[in-house]
């Protein structure tokens, strides 16, 4: 209760401070009242969803996710406005003090706020506010196909120009537009890749979230099949289960759903993809993550029976596994496919110029292709969304990777 009181008090103070900019910029009272009403509506919805709203044991249900998203948008507007107002208030205090000491009047008074500065503050604050709303409305389904060509000296000849489609982090419990998801599934099939690899987090919390989408994702098709691994959300660890047996049953249900959809789920295991006499090893580990995430991945178990010199593709949900374990493992992993970070669903990307997201402060390898010690990783930005119910600048991704043998045309 104390946390709620502190949070609400801070929110009201921020709202009051932001209101000063609106009063300075506009002479129409209805504008003030509209801002206050919107602020109260956003706060009220957030408090309701996280206290009296439907609670099915999940950390972040869809209504809570949207309540959180609207709150983030509103507070972003407030914070940016406050930065401008606070800077001006420092100037006003200094000016008032100088006027009091050196001026002709003995009374202390603050200069009036400058209208143009309040208008500028609101204009700048409106940009991320609008972007966050756009991200919730359309950005989350702005699917991008990102293609990469990777060359290897020891790629088996028969796998030259072999094409992989990687998808990751469906988070099907967040889907709310079937037509958009149908479009994305068709887009995956249009790539006509040799194999489809899914790198974890099929659901947010429970296996039932995938039931409405099972038939649709069953239509995914690739000549050499579909393979998958588990992500941290797939284990049901973020649900308050009545018994451990129920949690285990949930995981078994999800494994069954994946099998029904035609995915070969690799649980610390491997398969060989064969073309004539040539083959490559496809390795899949369970989730292994740094910083409190489940460490069920067992790389040594997964490669038991694989020859050290085999060409290897590793599926591992969390890129911290690549950084902490895979790069320096005794075996050489030519290509690792991960997801997990979502690129934080927020950032700025201009190919060839800018690639930035706050998630880079948590994960060194957070989106796209990286190379270390002659080994590559692709960190997929994710198909779905979680938490903030949108995407801004970091769009949902379908990765298409073409393997090439160096020296072959």
Q: Give yes or no for a contact between 341 and 379, defined as CB atoms under 8 angstroms apart.
A: yes
Vertex 80: Cα angle to 78 and 81 (nearest 5)? 65
Q: How far apart are CA 109 and CA 100, in angstroms?
A: 8
pLDDT of the chain, 409 residues: tens digit per residue: 788 899 999 999 999 888 888 888 888 889 889 999 999 999 999 999 988 876 655 556 788 899 999 999 999 999 999 998 888 777 667 676 666 566 655 555 555 667 888 888 889 999 999 999 999 999 999 999 999 999 999 999 999 999 999 999 999 999 999 999 999 999 999 999 999 999 999 999 999 999 999 999 999 999 999 999 999 999 999 999 999 999 999 999 999 999 999 999 999 999 999 999 999 999 999 999 998 899 999 999 999 999 999 999 999 999 999 999 999 999 999 999 999 999 999 999 998 899 999 999 999 999 999 999 999 999 999 999 999 999 999 999 999 999 999 988 7
Residue 307, H or E segment? none
Q: Check: CB of residue 263 under 8 Å from CB of residue 293.
A: no
Tokens of 144: 């991008």
- CA–CA dist 190, 166 (Å, integer): 13
Token readout for 221 is 């098709």
- Of 336, 346, 338, nearest to 376 by C-alpha is 336
What structural domains and CATH numbers belong to the chain? 2-137 (no CATH), 142-405 (3.60.21.10)
Q: Which of 274, 297, 301, 295 is nearest to 286 (CA)?
A: 297
Name the pTM for this structure: 0.91
Radius of gyration of the chain (CA): 26
Residue of 228, 232, 234 lying closest to 263 (CA atoms): 228
Count of helices and strands (H, E) across the chain? 9, 14
Question: Within 10 A of 252 (CB to CB), how many other CB atoms are there?
Answer: 11
Which residue stretches of 261-336 are H helix? Answer: 299-302, 319-321
Q: What angle do CA 163, 313, 231 make, to 5 degrees?
A: 100
Q: Integer distance in angstroms from the first to the last C-alpha of the chain? A: 67
Residue 406 CB coordination number (10 Å): 10
Q: CA-CA distances (angstroms) from residue 263 to 82, 200, 214?
A: 51, 12, 11
Q: CB under 8 Å to 289, separation ≥6 — which residues? A: 232, 295, 317, 318, 320, 321, 340
Rounded to whole angstroms, the Cα distance separating 182 from 360 reads 31
Q: Are 315 and 355 a contacting pair, CB within 8 Å?
A: no
């Amino acid at each position: 209760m104390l946390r709620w009181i502190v949070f609400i008090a801070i929110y009201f103070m921020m709202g009051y401070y932001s209101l000063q900019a609106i009063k300075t910029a506009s002479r129409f009272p209805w504008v003030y009242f509209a801002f206050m009403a919107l602020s109260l509506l956003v706060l009220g919805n957030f408090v309701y969803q996280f206290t009296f709203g439907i609670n099915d044991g999940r950390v972040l249900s869809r209504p809570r996710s949207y309540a959180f998203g609207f709150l983030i948008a509103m507070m972003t507007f407030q914070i940016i406005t406050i930065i401008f107002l606070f800077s001006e208030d420092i100037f006003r205090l200094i000016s008032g003090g100088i006027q009091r000491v050196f001026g002709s009047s003995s009374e202390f008074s603050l200069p009036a706020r400058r209208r143009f500065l309040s208008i500028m503050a609101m204009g700048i604050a409106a940009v991320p506010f609008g972007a966050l709303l756009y991200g919730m409305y359309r950005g989350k389904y702005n699917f991008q196909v990102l293609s990469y060509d990777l060359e290897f000296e020891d790629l088996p000849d028969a796998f030259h120009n072999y094409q992989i489609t990687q998808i990751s982090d469906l988070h099907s419990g967040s889907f709310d537009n079937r037509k958009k998801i149908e479009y994305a599934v068709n887009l995956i099939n249009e790539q006509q890749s040799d194999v489809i690899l899914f790198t974890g987090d099929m659901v947010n919390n429970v296996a039932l979230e995938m039931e409405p989408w099972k038939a649709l994702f069953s239509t995914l098709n690739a000549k050499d099949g579909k393979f998958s691994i588990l992500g941290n959300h797939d284990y049901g660890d973020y649900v308050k289960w009545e018994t451990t047996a129920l949690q285990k049953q949930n995981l078994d249900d999800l494994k069954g759903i994946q099998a029904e959809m035609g995915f070969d789920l690799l649980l610390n295991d491997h398969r060989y993809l064969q073309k004539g006499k040539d083959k490559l090893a496809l390795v899949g580990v369970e989730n292994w993550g740094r910083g409190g995430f489940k460490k069920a991945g067992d790389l040594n178990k997964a490669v038991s029976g694989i020859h050290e010199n085999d060409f290897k593709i590793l599926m591992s949900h969390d890129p911290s596994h690549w950084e902490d374990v895979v790069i320096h493992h005794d075996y050489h992993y030519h290509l690792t496919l991960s997801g997990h970070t979502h690129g934080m669903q927020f950032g700025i990307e201009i190919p060839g110029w800018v690639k930035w997201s706050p998630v880079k402060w948590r994960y060194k390898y957070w989106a796209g292709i990286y190379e270390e010690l002659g080994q590559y990783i692709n960190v997929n930005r994710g198909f779905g969304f979680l938490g903030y119910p949108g995407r801004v600048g970091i769009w949902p991704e379908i990765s298409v990777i073409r393997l090439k043998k160096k020296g072959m045309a």
